[in-house]
């Protein structure tokens, strides 16, 4: 009992001594820490879990913290996250190489698709985890290879597509609706374009890049068909 009381005090005073954990309650039984109460966002719940696990003497963590605030409708939350993740990492030069999809069901966010690298993938997860209304985050993002060959193809495909006269209008928006994913010389295009002609032109331009084995054109035509 004394050991559990001492452990509880250490968890509260050292691991969870920040204001964001003020509504978290702690109980300890045989070294297992149970966390209850509320926090503002999912990321804080995860952070509490990690901090408590690092406390010496803790044998397990039962994290039953709830996310405070009213439930946000799934469609509203999904729309908000799609936009936030589209513009995440703008200014780092990797935006066009991320094709991350968002699905929300019951407040649980599932992230899938492709990311340029682990930093971009982690950043997208952080965006979701720090958005109010998100109850949990499932990370199914695939991180594309960062080999010298693939990096060369990415840059060349970007220049070939966005440098083409009928397609350079898409470079105006930093969210870049044409996303270029490269895996071992295979290029996949994602996003939304204005016309079938633009979709076809992007596919043709990607195919002109030296070293590309195959191009999969998954671009969607706004208010139109999604032909391959």
Domains 74-143 and 148-221 share a fold: yes
At 174 the pLDDT is 75
At 95 the pLDDT is 86
The residues spanned by each domain of the chain are 2-67, 74-143, 148-221
Look up the CATH architecture of domain 148-221. Answer: 2-Layer Sandwich (3.30)
DSSP the chain: -HHHHHHHHHIIIIIS-SGGGTTEEEEEETTEEEEEEEESSHHHHHHHHHHHHTSTT--EEEE-PEEPSPPPPHHHHHHHHHHHHHSTTTTTT-GGG-EEEEEEETTEEEEEEEESSHHHHHHHHHHHHTSTT--EEEE-PEEPP--HHHHHHHHHHHHHHHTSTTTGGGGSSTT-SSEEEEETTEEEEESEES-HHHHHHHHHHHHTSTT--EEEE--EETTS----
CATH for 74-143, among 1.20.120, 3.30.1340, 3.30.300, 3.30.70?
3.30.1340
pLDDT tens digits along 144-190: 988 999 999 999 999 999 999 999 898 887 777 899 999 999 999 99
For the domain covering 2-67, report its CATH number: 3.30.1340.30
pTM assigned to the model: 0.84
pLDDT tens digits along 141-156: 999 988 999 999 999 9
């Amino acid at each position: 009992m004394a050991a559990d009381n001492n452990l509880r005090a250490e968890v509260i005073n050292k691991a969870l001594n920040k204001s964001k954990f003020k509504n978290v309650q702690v109980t300890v039984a045989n070294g297992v820490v149970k966390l209850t109460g509320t926090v503002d966002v999912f990321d804080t719940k995860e952070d509490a879990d990690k901090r408590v696990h690092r406390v010496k003497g803790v044998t397990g963590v039962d994290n039953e913290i709830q996310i405070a605030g009213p439930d946000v409708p799934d469609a509203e939350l999904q729309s908000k996250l799609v936009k936030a993740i589209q513009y995440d990492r703008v200014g780092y030069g990797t935006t066009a190489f991320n094709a991350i999809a968002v699905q929300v069901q019951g407040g649980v966010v599932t992230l899938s698709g492709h990311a340029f690298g682990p930093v971009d993938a982690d950043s997208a997860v952080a965006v979701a985890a720090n958005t109010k209304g998100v109850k949990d985050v499932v990370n199914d993002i695939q991180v594309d290879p960062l080999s010298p060959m693939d990096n060369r193809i990415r840059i060349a495909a970007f220049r070939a597509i966005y440098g083409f006269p009928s397609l350079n209008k898409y470079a105006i928006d930093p969210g870049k609706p044409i996303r270029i994913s490269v895996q071992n010389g295979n290029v996949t295009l994602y996003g939304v374009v204005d016309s079938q002609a633009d979709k076809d032109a992007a596919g043709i331009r990607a195919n002109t890049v030296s070293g590309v084995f195959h191009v999969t054109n998954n671009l969607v035509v706004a208010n139109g068909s999604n032909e391959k």
